[in-house]
Structure 1
Amino acid sequence: MTAADVRGEGLDFLLREDGRLRGNVKAPVTLIEYSDFTCGFCQKWFQETWPRIQAKYVDTGKVRFSYRDFPRAFQGPGLDGALASRCAGEQNRYWAMHDELWGDRRLGAEDLQRHAKAIKLDLPAFSKCMREERHTDDIFRDRAEGTILGFRGTPGFVLVRTDSSEKDPPVVIPGAFPFDVFEEQIDRLLGEGAKGKR
């Protein structure tokens, strides 16, 4: 899957629902992260900025969060981490693996087995999924989308109104910016910017 393949869809891919959404699926704003499990800046964002976004916007039903894979290399630990999270998703444990990997970014084969055991996966099924690399095409589709959006590294974020009839263009945030940057843009999309400053 290349950027050219995805480009023909316009920006509809931003609002696709593939089972990897956190929060209220009907939330008015969608936050999308393009990321790599080997990325130090991504881990910093997950540890410092994400908890504040989750508490203020996701847990309150205002924003839904979508994680998209953007492995920086076409093989190696970044791809392995992406595969591991999606294989965990086959057992309805995608977010458990996502959080596990950000807590400990060791991504060797034995490490991934340890992570799978920690979140109580069926280990033979997980190992089979990893061997078959059955999610590779979907991972590189995510990466192609990120490339269309102009991302060359990780993390990269997009904020968009969930209702596709809304005319606001997507807001691209190219990096691990602090919470205040996200807060300003989310509040604007929610129409709360003026209220929030009173």
Structure 2
Amino acid sequence: MSSPHSSPKTRPALIVAGVAVAAALLGLVSYTATKPADPSAAGSPSVAEVSADPASGVYPELEKYARRDASDGLALGRADAPVVLIEYADFKCGYCGKFARDTEPALIEKYVEDGTLRIEWRNFPIFGEESEAVARAAWAAGEQGRFWQFHKAAYAEGAKEKGFGEERLRALAAEAGVPDLARFTKDSGGAAARAAVRKDQEQGYALGASSTPSFLVNGRPIAGAQPLETFTEAIEAAAEKAGAGRAGTPR
């Protein structure tokens, strides 16, 4: 694949206490975030690699970033699911779109629907004003319970090539079934939307993410739109470690 999506913005000088090691690791491999790890590169650690050991590559202190808020409109799945996948992404990122179209639906069908997995979205706009605008719009759609429908429309094949200007965002909201478009427009430009996006963005930077998409699976960093198998292995290992394997988890 081609070169990664790197942010042009300056990172915060300070990293959240207790996550320095993971942040350094995530930052180290972010430049290869849009391609699978090269297995021939012996001795090169990668957050895309998943060990058979459920504890390997996991930073327990990063599990606290899972909000598990049942009212979170930008989350999918049970708040008490044993595994939480946090995604830091940008709607202008082509590889984020690839993950959304090719990988995420399979994870939802296999793990979210049976209660094993919760997916929590974090807006991580790194491509300028349109990235910021569509992030706020997605949050506003979530305020009316239509975030995931907006997410699907914004990541449809060819959608980002049409841009994310004001009229386009309104059209995407209509496509997503947002019921009150006047409220959507007001919310998108409001202080609450800006604060919510900034909060997600600062969290991603603090973790050392410098490209999109970046992920945490129960404290295990994964960089890039990796193959489906990378995510299934991480989710299965996290479920096993949580003592809630899919077969034995009460529903």
* Superposition TM-score tier, normalisation by shorter sequence: 0.7 to 0.9
Match of 1:93 in 2: 146
Matches within 5 A, 1:176-191: 176-191=225-240
d(CA) in 1 for partners of 2:62, 2:132: 24
CA RMSD, aligned part only? 2.4
Moved more, 94-103 or 60-69: 94-103
Identity rate, percent:
32
- Say whether residues 1:15 and 2:66 are aligned partners: yes
Q: Report the Cα distance in structure 1 between the residues aligned to 2:200 and 2:13, rounded to whole angstroms.
A: 13
Unaligned runs of 5+ in 2: 1-10, 19-60, 247-251
1:139 to 197, 217, 221: 197
Name which of 25, 36, 46 aligns with 2:90.
Answer: 36
1:2-151 to structure 2, matched below 5 A, reads 7=16, 11=62, 13-18=64-69, 19=72, 20-73=74-127, 75-103=128-156, 104-105=159-160, 106-118=163-175, 119-151=177-209
109-118 vs 7-16, greater mean Cα deviation: 7-16
RCO (CA 8 Å, sep 6+): is it higher in 1 or 2?
A: 2
Cα distance in 2, alignment partners of residues 3 and 25 from structure 1: 30
SS in structure 1 of the partner of residue 221 of structure 2: strand
Distance 2:195 2:153 in 1: 23
* Structure 1 match to 2:37: none
Q: Is the contact made by 1:22 and 1:64 (CA closer than 8 Å) also made in structure 2?
A: yes
Classify the secondary structure of the residue corresponding to 1:134: helix
**What CA distance in whole angstroms lies between the structure 2 residues aligned with 1:131 and 1:142?**
17
Deviation by residue 1:133-167 (Cα, 9 ceiling, x = unmatched): 5311221211111122221010001000xxxxxxx
Quick check: which one's helix share is greater? Answer: 1
Correspondence for 1:171 among 220, 226, 236: 220
- After superposition, the Cα gap between the structure-2 partners of 1:37 and 1:154, relative to the gap in structure 1 and judged at 3 Å, is same
TM-score (norm 1): 0.83
Aligned residues: 183
